[in-house]
Structure 1
């Protein structure tokens, strides 16, 4: 997903050093009201692993975020609003970004823990006699006079156990290869490729079950970049309801909402529409949680599938033109197991 960029401010104040792994933000007042400091590990994880969450924040708050400076372990982010920006207008965006960074930090810690747990499970399986992870039927570490098999054939190294691949198993969608034993146990922990995160199986979300996805077409409304085609208009409608057991606060009510999105009525746009229908049927398009814009809890929010909610304005305003959007969103959906077949 695109990350908004801007021109660096040569007069910007130097970055403050913060504890490693912790995102901090200054208060809404003062000279640094448009600055945010964040751990590089957290920011890089957010932009690479969960770009749709960042895109949703920028869509809801209309804020532009750029990296204005950096130290060895933090980034200094600068926030902008399109003019005319009201006094204190950045406060909601700053609060939303703070909440997202904290959430991302937790996800990063969980992913690191899952990876450690996975390696522990693999070690238990591969070392019944006290052997090492890399020592499958070969000389012990440091023994022998020649290079190891994985140095001779790096393409045959299993990414999980780091030994030579035994009984190679190649995942169908992403084509990453592993030892059969290693990937069997990895998929038992999480049905996704340990290398790229591609989902395998049928993922079902916790979107409220009583929503509707309505589709209309306007042949007289071309989108920038797709002037030869009309426009597909998607309207998502959800009535008020009560949270179920799969939601953050079971038994608590949430208000209804209506969202509108746009696709070009071209072959690729219709392909994305079909994928959007699948995602909606699998309850992946929305969730119940806290709004990144208002901070209000127990509301229906987008759930990491990027939609174009404006016809114009380009990527920064979540509109068109955006030449790579249709390809990007298909990759985003593919990571959730939503494909044509």
Structure 2
């Protein structure tokens, strides 16, 4: 079985730009987010970084590490964060290789048995050999096991207690426990209009949903970094295709906005300005704000990052929303 590999983006030293990118094989990253979500969340919290999926190729995800306030100035905290992420990926690589050797699996997926093959009577899947003995978080023998009520996944008592303090969701399946409420300024408005004559690149058969977020200036509350300090107002515009899946995402965006999860108050990662309203880890497509030539979009920026075409964006943003407990049910 070939070894799992990953490539870290090269940067000169630790004091480079405030963003660092990491490329990782899709199957490795999907295993990490599925099986080690709690550890990943703790890593991000302790290093004061956000780890975002910023793009992809057929085989790789492009991850972006962004410093979150109040982190070290100049993005200095990204160097230890990259090292910690690298260590987690290496540990994952070793675990996947062990599983491959033990169960004949490749990256956690068991191959189909040959036609007509059957195991001994009463034998279950190979993975059932040690189903409840290993904690999915620490990967050690389960101590003081605790089983989550809705999804029935089990963990070490201490491991799951710590994980739920970081994010109120099952680290294995992502099922949310409780409703997450953010610290978005409470007096913002979300306005939605539609333009049937203006299709987005990649969705030429549909019109466009135009979302406008409007916030007046205000004063930070106790839930913000600097209570009592003023922040300026802002207006943000985002775009979705007016197709069934685009409308589904629009409904999820409405829920996220109602739960005050779309924005926060902090330091802008693009301008470095403090005490401003910023996006809060739910990616929106904000490019294409100019329209020229009778219904053709103007400058769309970098495809797949800020604008369209991006064929997997709607699926990715639904995963981001699901991680915050925002689903259709």
Report TM bin, short chain: 0.5 to 0.7
Match of 2:236 in 1: 259
TM-score, structure 2 normalization: 0.58
1:25 aligns with 2:16: yes
TM-score, structure 1 normalization: 0.56
Deviation at 1:177, TM superposition (A): 2.2
1:24 match: secondary structure: coil
Deviation at 1:176, TM superposition (A): 7.4
Deviation at 1:153, TM superposition (A): 1.7
Match of 1:217 in 2: 194
Q: Which range moves more in the overlay, 325-334 or 288-297?
A: 288-297
Which sections of structure 2, spanning at least 5 residues, go unmatched? 1-8, 24-28, 30-39, 45-49, 56-61, 66-70, 88-125, 289-299
Match of 1:338 in 2: 326
- CA distance, structure 1, for counterparts of residue 273 and residue 230 of structure 2: 13
Match of 1:192 in 2: 169
- CA distance, structure 2, for counterparts of residue 102 and residue 196 of structure 1: 30
Match of 1:310 in 2: 287
* Bigger CA radius of gyration: 1
1:285 aligns with 2:262: yes
1:220-231 superposed matches below 5 A: 220-231=197-208
Deviation at 1:163, TM superposition (A): 2.9
Tell me: higher relative CO, structure 1 or 2? Use CA pairs within 8 A at least 6 residues apart. Answer: 1
Which sections of structure 1, spanning at least 5 residues, go unmatched? 1-7, 9-13, 27-34, 57-65, 68-76, 78-95, 113-149
1:273 match: secondary structure: helix
Query: Among residues 204, 207, 214, which one is paired with 2:181 in the alignment?
Result: 204
Deviation at 1:105, TM superposition (A): 4.9
Match of 2:101 in 1: none
- CA distance, structure 1, for counterparts of residue 225 and residue 232 of structure 2: 15
1:1-341 superposed matches below 5 A: 23-25=14-16, 50-52=50-52, 55=54, 99-100=74-75, 102=77, 105=80, 153-159=129-135, 160=137, 162-163=140-141, 169=147, 172=150, 177-179=153-155, 185-186=161-162, 189-190=165-166, 191-195=168-172, 199-311=176-288, 312-313=300-301, 315-341=303-329
Taking structure 1 as reference, are residues 300 and 165 closer, same or farther at Cα in structure 2, changes over 3 Å only? same
- CA distance, structure 2, for counterparts of residue 259 and residue 278 of structure 1: 17
Corresponding pairs, count: 235
- CA distance, structure 2, for counterparts of residue 183 and residue 106 of structure 1: 21
1:215 match: secondary structure: strand
1:4-42 alpha-carbon deviations (Å, 9 max, x no partner):
xxxx9xxxxx976x6xxxx3228xxxxxxxx998999xx
- CA distance, structure 2, for counterparts of residue 218 and residue 38 of structure 1: 35
Deviation at 1:99, TM superposition (A): 4.3
- CA distance, structure 2, for counterparts of residue 260 and residue 15 of structure 1: 32
